[in-house]
Amino acid sequence: MKRSRYTVLLLIALLAVVVTANSSAWAQVPESPQPPPSQDSPPDSLAAAGADSVEINGQMVGAPVAISNDINAFQNVGPGTRPRVADQEPEFHPVYKLTYRREEEIGTWGHDFTLNYQLSDRLRFNSSADITIKENDVLNRENRQESWRAGLNYNLTSAVGMAVKFNRSYQIDTRNAGEAGEVTSSREKETMDFSTDYRKTHFSGLSTSLSASAGIERNDYSDIQSNGTTQNVSASLGYEIVEGLESNFGYTGRHSVLDSRQGDFESTDESISHALDTDFTYEWDQHALSANARRSYSQTQYPKEEQTEEREQESESLGVTTDFRPLENLGIDFNFDYSRNQSYYAIETTKDSDVKSRSVGAGVDYKLNGTVFSAKLSSKTDRSNQFSIQTGDTYSDSFGGSVSHSFGSKVSLSFRGSVSLVSYHYDDPEANDQDRDLMNQEASLTLDYKPRSDIAADILLRVKESQLIYIRTTRSGDNKKTNTYTIQPSIKKTFSPNVAVSQKYELSADYTFYTFDRDANFLIRNFGVTTNLDWRMFGGVNTTFEHRYRGQDEGSYTEGDDGIERYGKSSERDDHTLSIMVRYKLFDLIDLEVKQDYSVQAKWVFEGSTRRLSWEKHDTSLQGKASMNHDLENGTTVRLSVSRTLRDAPNITERQEDVWNASVSLERTF
Amino acid sequence: MERLRFARKDLLVKAKTSRRDAAFALVVAGLLVAALCSGGCIFSPREPDGPPEGGEGDWEPPVTTTILRSNLKSAMERENVGNYSDCFAEDFRFHVDPSDSLDAGAEGEVRYANWVKSDETQAMQSVFAAASEISIQFTMVEGPDETQDDTFRREDYTMTVYWSSGQHVNEEITYKGRATLHMRREQSRWSIYKWVDRRTVEPDVNETWGVVRGDFRP
């Protein structure tokens, strides 16, 4: 009964809007005097409005160049006017796209079909169908997803529109297809909506929009079926109060009543939601101030384990942001944000939560000649009430800054630093011992140097420290600090437009210190060099040679007889990889690529002072790839890519020895 | 003469502008110093209550994907949310088995959507709060190529949880599935940036780890 009442009321409202639009907007058209052109209604805009014509009582009432106040209410003559189709024969161009992609054991077929047709200057038909099928040969699975959409949009006037829309989505996942253990899971959803909307932009800086829709919905899940009605309303108002000060207000609401069934359990589920939002923006000179607020409430009912679950959610948020530029080269910004999100469940009460969050931030940037400074400080507090031992507070603070300077066109230098602390405090430390602090600090220096046009060099120095501190003694055994020191120089030399050589080094040391277990302290040292040669040999042939070396040793600290802890290396590892790649464009149409990799990895372990080879691996791979993109004259686009990788290495599966990846895409506009 | 007067005026304006710029540079530098000084107060971590009464740490720097998997296992079994979180990259995404999402009915549409690192950490923290004992066994199905900085491991897992609260209170439940762990090496350390969870080929005897995650997503 309730469902019918809502639907009837909404349909009456829709009808009222349509009737009002028809009667007041058009009934007086022939009698309306033609107003003189004014600054508020420039001739072009007026002509656009005048291009409207509609059939009334079997007669075309066209070119309503005369605009009365009533007509104005249902017409847009300025910004915001609905896009209109010029007087021309509507064209019919359906588009079909077929794709196939093969990635290892998964083959994916895609069929996309779009048909949009402008039936007249007021009536438009839109439709699309997307079907994706994924087949996994190894797991014997198939996943099929279908999405169907169709809609008819009618512009009653340039401000009033109506539409009818149909949506259907279907997904089915089948495992062990065709075998004894075949299992399927599926989800199907169908909706049909009738809607009307009104959008009006006034020259006074006021814009309004209203929309309402009513429809039916049907859901079919693996073990739940439901169907019923839905209603939606939304309204928004935009107004420029004074020059530079803009405001927007909006409301959206939704209501649905669904008859649901899960097994033998039947229920009528009613859901409702409301959301209000507003924002203000004020811009003057080069400064800006903006504020936004939002509040929403929803109550959703759905079947859960043959009972009716009811989820109630309430949220509110407020944000203020300022951006000042007191000088052309100085910017200062501040922000404040507050939010609260509450969720309560009738059955799954363990998921109840009430989370409040407050944050403030400030930033500054300043440019002085070739120097740029910037800094940002932020602080956030979250109060999370989970109604369990998880209830507690989280404090997050961070600060980051950077300074960069260019010394002419050859040298530039930049320094960056950041520090952050995240602190978790739980209300019941006896029951929850996960109270902890996470602290990170990082500083880096980058120098770019271009002494000549054919030489470019750079160096990066970075120091990073991360700390994990558990507060409770039951957890403090895991407390640790990690320090990482990195140096990365690189150089690139261009010998000619066809030949360039580059080399990149990386040296790093990674220390891990346990606060209460010093014997477990760790050190890892890395050294890497990557050498690259790019050579455009002739015509369309490009060749790349690359050698990568990575060396690593690791070990722990052990206390000597003298009571001093020393680093004891426990293992060493070397990786060498040599790659050769040749690219060629055949007939200016097909890109061909052949790549061969050869790598050797070896690991040694230290037993006392003895170094013993633990393992050695050789890995060879050969990859061939062909790809093309081609547009045919009849409107068909072809995209093709095929690659095959042959690999020979220990500890790989048979499937990894020969891998095909392919993709084909055909798109045709009829 | 007139030109000279204008030139002098220009110089005076430039001198005033550069003095003003210098003054603002000082203000900015002062703000930076003030922020750094205040940082000393804000960025002071707490001291632990004391030396450990529980077990000692068994986390190792994840310089190989095997150590990363071992850290993940020990973080789960020791219910250590800090170490668990350290196993994942900041841009981590979890992809549930399509059947798990479909079988969750109307809830499935939002239960697994846009699963990022904070969802992973919060969900597992809630699992740790509700579980009194967790044990995990991984069996590698497909190995990584650690000569690359981006690789994956395919692992079959069996996870047994003894629940002390929640829907299965005082029950021991075994979860099984296959995880494809996509991993990336940054500054010589590996972390997981994508977890693709799949049910095993066997008929539905056990639920997956993905179902546990979904049940505990806040």
List pLDDT tens digits, range A16-35. Answer: 444 444 444 333 333 333 43
* Coil vs helix vs strand at A44: helix
Q: Which residues of A touch B143 (CB under 8 A)?
A: 651-652
Q: How far apart are CA A327 and CA A309, in angstroms?
A: 58
> What band does B173 get if pLDDT is binned at 50, 70 and 90?
very high
Is there a contact between B201 and A176 if contact means CB atoms under 8 Å apart?
yes
Percentage of residues in chain A with pLDDT exceeding 90? 55
Among the partner-chain residues A172, A399, A469, the one whose CB lies closest to the CB of B45 is A469
Whether residue B20 lies inside any domain: the answer is: yes
Please indicate if any CB of chain A lies within 8 Å of the CB of B67.
no
Residue B89 has pLDDT above 80, yes or no: yes
Measured between alpha carbons, how far is residue A330 from residues A108, A215, A327, A371, B194 in Å?
A: 53, 54, 5, 12, 41
The residue of A425, A470, A524, A530 whose CB has the most chain B CBs within 10 angstroms, and thus the best one to mutate to test that interface, is: A470
The answer to the question of residue A194 being in a domain is no
Provide the shortest C-alpha distance from residue B202 to chain A (in Å). 8
Contacts of residue B43, defined as CB under 8 A and 6 or more positions apart, other chains included, come to A397, A399, A419, A420, A421, A439
Considering only CB atoms, which chain A residues are within 8 Å of B49?
Answer: 471-473, 476
- For residue B24, give the nearest of A366, A436, A524 by CB distance: A366
Q: How far apart are CA A93 and CA A670, in angstroms?
A: 5
pLDDT tens digits, A489-534 = 999 999 988 999 999 999 999 998 888 877 778 899 999 999 999 9
Q: Is the pLDDT of residue A54 over 90?
A: no
Per-residue pLDDT tens digits for A453-476: 899 999 999 999 999 999 988 888
Q: Can you give the CATH number for the domain in which B79 is found?
A: 3.10.450.50
Distance from CA of A608 to the nearest CA of B (A): 21
Q: Which of B14, B31, B55 is the endpoint of a domain?
A: B55
- Whether the CB-CB separation of A630 and A609 falls below 8 Å is answered with no
Residues A156 and A110: their CA atoms lie apart, in Å, by 37
- Residue B52: pLDDT band with limits 50, 70, 90: confident
Q: What are phi and psi of A429, to 5 degrees?
A: -65, -20
CB distance B56–A476 less than 8 Å? no
Please indicate, yes or no, if residue B119 is contained in any of the structural domains. yes
Question: Of A569, A567, A511, A482, whose CA–CA distance to B83 is shortest?
Answer: A482
Evaluate whether residue A29 is within a structural domain. Answer: yes
Q: Clarify whether residues B44 and B150 are in a common domain.
A: no
Last residue within a domain, chosen from B21, B37, B55: B55
ipTM: 0.79
Instruction: Select, from the ranges A5-14, A274-283, A381-390, A602-611, the one with the highest average predicted confidence (pLDDT).
Output: A274-283
B30 touches A at CB < 8 Å = no
Cross-chain residue pair A364–B31, CB shorter than 8 Å: yes
DSSP, collapsed to helix, strand or coil, labels residue B83 as helix
pLDDT of residue A55: 37
Distance from CA of A601 to the nearest CA of B (A): 8
Nearest residue in chain A measured CA to CA from B17: A327
Type of residue numbered B15:
A
Cross-chain Cβ contact B42/A397 below 8 Å: yes
Per-residue model confidence (pLDDT) at position A636: 87
The answer to whether the Cβ–Cβ distance between B61 and A512 falls below 8 Å is yes
- A279 occurs within a structural domain: no
Mean pLDDT of chain B: 82
Residue A593 inside a domain? The answer is: no
Q: Same domain, yes or no, for B134 and B33?
A: no
Look at residue B149 and tell me if it is in a domain. Answer: yes
Within-domain flag for B60: no
CB-side neighbour CA atoms (13 Å) of A73 = 12
Total structural domains within chain A: 1
- Nearest-CA neighbor of B154 among A655, A614, A603, A135? A655
Are B13 and B96 in a shared domain?
no
Using only the alpha carbons of chain B, give its radius of gyration: 27
Give the total residue count for chain A. Answer: 670
Closest CA of chain B from A216, distance in Å: 17
Specify the pLDDT at position A3: 47
Q: How far apart are the first and last CA of chain A?
A: 49
Confidence (pLDDT) at A519: 75
- Domain match, B109 and B178 both: yes
Q: Are residues B94 and B4 in the same domain?
A: no
Do B90 and B15 lie in a common domain?
A: no
B146 touches chain A (CB under 8 A): yes
Closest alpha carbon within chain A to B56: A477
Are residues B46 and B16 part of one domain? yes
Residue listed under structure tokens 């309560």: A344
Please give the Cα distance from A85 to A79 (Å, whole number): 16
Domain boundaries, position B37: 1-55
| B105/A183 CB distance under 8 A | no
pLDDT band at A67 (very low <50, low <70, confident <90, very high): very low
Q: Is B156 on the interface with A (CB under 8 A)?
A: no
Nearest 5°: CA angle at A293, between A289 and A297? Answer: 170
**CB-CB contact of A162 with A201 (8 Å):** no
Whose structure tokens read 């009837």?
A8
Tokens of A417: 């630093």
Domain termination residue (choose one: B55, B83, B99): B55
Residues of chain B neighbouring A301 (CB-CB closer than 8 A): none
B187 at A interface, C-beta within 8 A: yes
Q: How close B62 gets to chain A, by Cα (Å)? A: 10
Query: What are the residues facing A506 on neighbouring strands?
Result: A528
Partner-chain contact A656 B142, CB within 8 Å: yes
Residue A93 predicted with pLDDT over 90:
no
Considering the domain architecture, whether residues B149 and B201 belong to the same structural domain is answered as yes
The number of distinct structural domains making up chain B is: 2
Nearest residue on chain B to A352, judged by CA atoms? B218
| Degrees to nearest 5, angle at CA A97 with A92 and A100 | 170
Per DSSP, the residues of A369-417 read TTEEEEEEEEEEEEEEE-SSTT-EEEEEEEEEEEEEEEETTTEEEEEEE
pLDDT above 70 (res B126): yes
Q: What is the pLDDT of residues B10-50, one digit of tens each?
A: 555 555 555 555 565 566 556 666 655 555 567 888 988 88
Closest listed residue to residue B75, CA positions, set B65, B64, B60, B63: B60
B2 touches chain A (CB under 8 A): no
In a domain, A125, yes or no: no
Task: Tell me, yes or no, whether A292 lies in a domain.
Answer: no
Residues in chain A within 8 Å Cβ distance of B204:
183
Phi, psi of A46 (to 5 degrees): -65, -40
Q: For residue B141, what are its two tokens?
A: 């199905």
- A490 belongs to a structural domain: no
> Does B112 lie in the same domain as B49?
no
Nearest to B97 by CA among B201, B192, B16, B17: B201
Distance CA A171, CA A131 (A): 10
Residue B129 to chain A, least CA–CA distance (Å): 7
Between chains, do A478 and B189 touch, taking CB under 8 Å as contact?
no
- HSE at residue A110, side-chain half, CA atoms within 13 A, is 14
Q: What is the pLDDT averaged over residues B90-99?
A: 93
Rounded to two decimals, the pTM is: 0.80
Do the Cβ atoms of A421 and B43 come within 8 Å?
yes
Q: Which of A114-118, A559-563, B205-209 has the highest mean pLDDT?
A: A114-118
Q: Identify which of A181, A388, A524 has the shortest CB distance to residue B61.
A: A524
Task: Report CB contact under 8 Å: B61, A510.
Answer: yes
